[in-house]
Amino acid sequence: MTASSSPTVPDEQRQLLDAAAEFQYHEGAMEYEERTPGELWSIECVNVHKKFGRFAVLQGLNFCIPEGTITVVLGPSGTGKSVLLKHLIGLMFPDKGDILVHGQSVPHMTQPELLEMRRRFGILFQDGALFGSMNVFDNVAFPLRQHTDKSEAQIHATVMARLDDVGLADAGGRMPNELSGGMRKRAGFARALVMEPQIVMFDEPDSGLDPVRTTLLCELIQQMHDLYGGTYILITHDIATARQIGQYIGVLWRGRIVQSGDRDHMFDSPNPFVRQFLNRQGRGPLGME
Ligand SMILES: Nc1ncnc2c1ncn2[C@@H]1O[C@H](COP(=O)(O)OP(=O)(O)OP(=O)(O)O)[C@@H](O)[C@H]1O
């Protein structure tokens, strides 16, 4: 249903919704492409549709994620950010449309190709997703033991280096239930980095953290990106996080990326929805629905 056909939306809000819907979705992305000719997109989502039963979550989503940057996908709760993230790593598949990772179509991959592709990803889940029965060291070592033939000495050196990176060099022997929420996330981050991924995804890294710890985690994410490079993708509804570390930002709403572009472009957006959302304004197309 289009915004203008909704009988329950007040007139003023309906006009704003129409203005937002008519806005050139990818103005920012196109400008970016013009300014950085020859740059590869790391991930491309092309007209992605996904329904659960009759509930359409992704509705023709187009979004390109630039190689080598920190991209933040922002959007209100329940708009499909996690669903999008699962599509990028082939944990969910679109009903229609395509997702290309380094030019390769994820829905068309064979199972071995999918597994190979996922090894290029490091993922930090909301709570760190640590195995409760293993200490921090073994959690971080797990992908190396599963997917490489490194010796225990090599694994030890790599794990200790990553734990040191995230400030947990002394915490290797601790069990996950002995860690604070922030420490669990940092341990999860060390594990996400341990296979030297080309792409690192963060599912709401700021969830459950107070503003100071969120800022510190963002600083750590920025430092690791400066140190090791790669493409980082964060999904969040925290605008402060996007402002702090998002070099490139996509705003998701009603199953589509409403607008994407670099940070300055986005925070200065003429799109009524993007402006409302990024500036936390009560008045605008986004209501309480
Ligand atoms: N496997 C599933 N089966 C049915 N519905 C699902 C499934 N996964 C997600 N959904 C629905 O899709 C919608 C989008 O969910 P999603 O978790 O992606 O939102 P989100 O933007 O990440 O929200 P939040 O910021 O609150 O975490 C929700 O209404 C959710 O209930």
CA nearest ligand 1 atom 17, residue: 82
pLDDT score recorded for residue 286: 62
pLDDT score recorded for residue 29: 54
Relative orientation angle of helices 181-193 and 136-147, to the nearest 10 degrees: 20
pLDDT score recorded for residue 24: 45
* AA identity, residue 68: G
Element housing 116 (H / E): helix 111-118
CA nearest ligand 1 atom 29, residue: 78
At 198, phi and psi to the nearest 5?
Answer: -80, -25
Query: What residue ranges line ligand 1, CB within 6 angstroms?
Result: 52, 57, 75, 77-83, 237
Residue 92 has pLDDT above 90, yes or no: yes
Q: Lowest mean pLDDT: which of 10-19, 36-45, 59-68, 156-165?
A: 10-19
Q: pLDDT tens digit string along 41-91? A: 889 999 999 999 989 999 999 988 988 899 999 988 888 888 999 999 998
Q: Lowest mean pLDDT: which of 164-173, 183-192, 199-208?
A: 199-208
pLDDT score recorded for residue 108: 94
pLDDT score recorded for residue 76: 81
Mutate which of 52, 77, 84 for ligand 1? The one with the most ligand atoms within 8 Å of its CB, which is 52
**Which of 80, 81, 188, 86 minimizes the C-alpha distance to 143?**
188
**Residue 102 CB neighbours (<10 A):** 15
d(CA 111, CA 105): 13
Residue 130 has pLDDT above 80, yes or no: yes
**Mean pLDDT to the nearest integer, 91-117:** 92
Q: Lowest mean pLDDT: which of 70-74, 240-244, 253-257, 277-281?
A: 277-281
Q: Lowest mean pLDDT: which of 8-17, 149-158, 275-284?
A: 8-17
Q: Which of the pair, 214 or 12, is modelled with greater confidence? A: 214
C-alpha of 118 from chain center = 15
**Which of 135, 64, 57 minimizes the C-alpha distance to 100?**
64
Q: What is the ipTM of this complex?
A: 0.96
Phi-psi region of 78 (alpha: psi -120 to 50; beta: other; left: phi over 0): left
Sequence-distant (6+) residues with CB within 8 A of 126 are: 203, 204, 205, 207, 208
Q: pLDDT tens digit string along 246-258? A: 999 998 888 889 8
Q: Lowest mean pLDDT: which of 228-232, 233-237, 266-270?
A: 266-270
Q: How far is CA 112 from CA 98, 119, 143, 184, in A?
A: 19, 11, 17, 31
d(CA 105, CA 68): 20
d(CA 186, CA 123): 12
pLDDT score recorded for residue 277: 79
Exposed, middle or buried, 173 (CB in 10 Å: 0-12/13-18/19+)? exposed
Tokens of 120: 């290029």
Mutate which of 83, 206, 286 for ligand 1? The one with the most ligand atoms within 8 Å of its CB, which is 83
Q: Which of the pair, 269 or 51, is modelled with greater confidence? A: 51
pLDDT score recorded for residue 38: 47
